[in-house]
Amino acid sequence: MRVSDLKEAAAGKEKPLKYVLLAGIYNEPRSGYELTKWLQMVGQHCWSVEHSSVYPALRELEKDELIQSERLPGTRGPDRSIYSMTAAGLDKLRAWVANGSPRPAIKDEQILRVLCFDLLPRETALQQIREVRADHQVQLEFFLARQAMLTERQLGPLLVARRGVLAEQAYIAWCDEVADMIARRPA
């Protein structure tokens, strides 16, 4: 057992990435690359992962017999491994989902910068918040389109898309409020 695994076991926690990947495989068997793309589409507002960390986690899941792989011809190149859920993996995922979650840790560098907007000239701060708003508007449109494609038969993905819509709407409203406050500030 590796030192990092011992620390996690001692803390009573497993790597969340394993559950993220199990969730992606639960929805449909996928390759590591497809899992990364799935995460970028479905979970971009709730989980980020480096592509390079996906394959080591998949190897661990396979070693633990929670997933299995099958080599299939690639669509444009070499064979690729397609991962699917085992019964043990489904049981593990079901138990994890049933256990609930701690309050999420939020890391938003933009908010930290806003904390110090007093250091910026009014126009610079306004320009920054307008750029942030524009980025969130693009994200909102993405989530609205995704939400429109889903039905209640795809409840999990629909709920995640809905959360994305609401989060982006709230962030846009906050940006508008910030811009109004900055605009009223003396130059």
- What pLDDT, on the 0 to 100 scale, is given for residue 45? 64
Cβ proximity of 30 and 24 under 8 Å: yes
φ, ψ for residue 98 (rounded to 5)?
A: -70, -20
Q: pLDDT averaged over the chain?
A: 86
- What pLDDT, on the 0 to 100 scale, is given for residue 15? 74
pLDDT in tens, 159-171: 988 999 999 999 9
pLDDT band at 9 (very low <50, low <70, confident <90, very high): very low
Taking residues 83-88, report their average pLDDT. Answer: 95
pLDDT in tens, 30-68: 998 888 888 877 766 667 777 788 899 999 999 999 999
Q: How far is CA 163 from the centre of its chain?
A: 12
pTM (whole model) above 0.75:
no
